[in-house]
């Protein structure tokens, strides 16, 4: 047997878990300092344990009944639940590590983008003993990435319209279709004004991004609101030509808000678009049944938005 190394304390292996438990204890300090959420599920005991950061990240109080696997899985965005289940099953059959991204809806309704590393710890026979998940909240990073993608799309559009060929083609088109641009710029009384777009959204980043992109259009005037009550007030006094409503607002749902706005004189038939992170088909069906003209999924595809606004402009005479 080799002599112990001076200055180090050897940790004797323990049955089943061996060095894993000791390693996990040493990991805790690193996880705490780096803000990583840790979830450990013991297969034999069917027990789930979160570290402090996990409770904070997922918006759950550590006081009270302990979290369960069913509760944790219930926080996962429905469209992403299958991905997480398949990852766990793969680890059960073939121990190793899996890296994946999925979304979580906290109890307070906030949507998080999660980057996760899942791995299993096994016994001497290679049988899984625990599943460990290390998670980071990458919501802001995803938003920045999406903003960069949208900016790149916008740059391509601007680059396209800055060419002489584009304007020559546009001039040829409007010469042969003189009425095409009129609805977007001419009001019923013959005076010119911009298309009024009201965007109701509680996320300030989304509001700023939408506003920045809309500013690239000379024919659009934007107003914004951060909740249903504020949006209703703006709609009542400003008379928008297009309504863009978030699905989940702090004080109401976009569908309910549209119903209220339809009672405002002049907004009975105003084109309305649901702008939501919900991608389930049934959500789109409900929005269509509620009278929404279209459904824009976040992150917003502004090429699609511009096409929709052009169609609205071409089919309506602005008041």
Q: What DSSP line would sit under 202-233, residue for residue?
A: S-HHHHHHHHHHHTT-TTEEEEEESSHHHHHH
In the sheet that holds 242-246, the strands lie side by side as: 220-225, 195-200, 242-246, 272-276, 294-297
207-212: long-range contacts (C-beta < 8 A, 24 or more apart)? 209/147, 209/150, 209/300, 210/244, 210/300
Tell me which residue of 43, 51, 19, 23 sits closest to 131, measured CA to CA.
43
C-alpha 202/C-alpha 210 separation (Å) is 12
Query: Across residues 88-116, what is the average pLDDT?
Result: 84
Looking only at the bridges linking them, the beta strands covering 242-246 and 220-225 are unpaired
What domains are there in the chain, each with its CATH number? 20-137 (3.30.450.20), 142-315 (3.40.50.2300)
Q: Per residue in 259-314, pLDDT tens?
A: 999 999 999 999 999 998 887 888 889 999 999 999 998 888 888 899 999 888 88
Query: Across residues 219-224, what is the average pLDDT?
Result: 87
Looking at residue 277, its pLDDT comes to: 82
Mean confidence (pLDDT) of the chain: 77
Q: State the alpha helices, DSSP H only, in the chain.
A: 20-34, 52-57, 69-74, 78-93, 139-161, 164-176, 182-185, 204-214, 228-238, 254-261, 281-289, 302-315
C-alpha 304/C-alpha 296 separation (Å) is 8
Looking at residue 12, its pLDDT comes to: 41
Q: Per residue in 160-204, pLDDT tens?
A: 444 544 444 444 434 444 333 333 444 555 556 789 999 999 887
- Close Cβ partners of 69 (under 8 Å, ≥ 6 residues apart): 41, 46, 48
Cβ(312)–Cβ(242) below 8 Å: yes
C-alpha 176/C-alpha 183 separation (Å) is 16
Query: Across residues 99-109, what is the average pLDDT?
Result: 85
Q: What 3-state DSSP class applies to 1?
A: coil
Cβ(195)–Cβ(309) below 8 Å: yes
Q: Per residue in 226-260, pLDDT tens?
A: 888 889 988 998 899 999 999 888 888 999 999 99
CA angle 201, 151, 273 (to 5 degrees): 35
275's tokens: 């702008």
The answer to whether the pTM exceeds 0.75 is: no
Looking at residue 301, its pLDDT comes to: 86
The residue among 317 and 263 whose pLDDT is bigger is 263
C-alpha 197/C-alpha 42 separation (Å) is 53
């Amino acid at each position: 047997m080799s002599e112990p190394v001076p200055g180090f304390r050897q940790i004797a292996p323990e049955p089943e878990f061996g060095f894993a438990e000791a390693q996990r204890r040493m990991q805790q300090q690193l996880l705490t300092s780096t803000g990583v959420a840790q979830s450990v599920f013991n297969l034999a005991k069917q027990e789930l344990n979160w570290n402090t950061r996990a409770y904070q990240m997922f918006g759950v109080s550590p006081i009270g009944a302990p979290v369960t696997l069913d509760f944790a899985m219930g926080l996962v965005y429905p469209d992403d639940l299958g991905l997480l289940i398949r990852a766990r099953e793969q680890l059960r059959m073939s121990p190793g590590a899996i890296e994946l991204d999925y979304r979580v809806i906290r109890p307070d309704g906030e949507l998080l983008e999660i980057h996760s590393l899942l791995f299993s710890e096994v016994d001497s026979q290679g049988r899984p003993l625990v599943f460990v998940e290390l998670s980071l909240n990458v919501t802001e990073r995803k938003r920045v990435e999406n903003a960069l993608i949208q900016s790149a799309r916008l740059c391509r559009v601007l680059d396209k319209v800055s060419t002489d060929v584009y304007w020559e083609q546009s001039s040829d088109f409007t010469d042969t279709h003189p009425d095409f641009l009129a609805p977007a710029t001419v009001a019923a009384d013959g005076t010119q004004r911009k298309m009024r777009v009201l965007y109701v959204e509680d996320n300030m980043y989304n509001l700023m991004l939408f506003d920045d992109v809309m500013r690239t259009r000379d024919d659009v005037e934007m107003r914004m609101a951060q909740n249903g009550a504020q949006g209703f007030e703006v709609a009542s006094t400003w008379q928008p030509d297009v309504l863009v409503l978030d699905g989940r607002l702090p004080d109401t749902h976009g569908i309910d808000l549209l119903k209220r706005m339809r009672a405002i004189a002049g907004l009975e038939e105003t084109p309305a678009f649901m702008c939501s992170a919900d991608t389930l088909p049934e959500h789109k069906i409900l929005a269509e049944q509620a009278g929404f003209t279209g459904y824009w999924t976040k992150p917003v595809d502004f090429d699609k938005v511009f096409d929709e606004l052009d169609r609205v402009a071409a089919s309506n005479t602005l008041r």
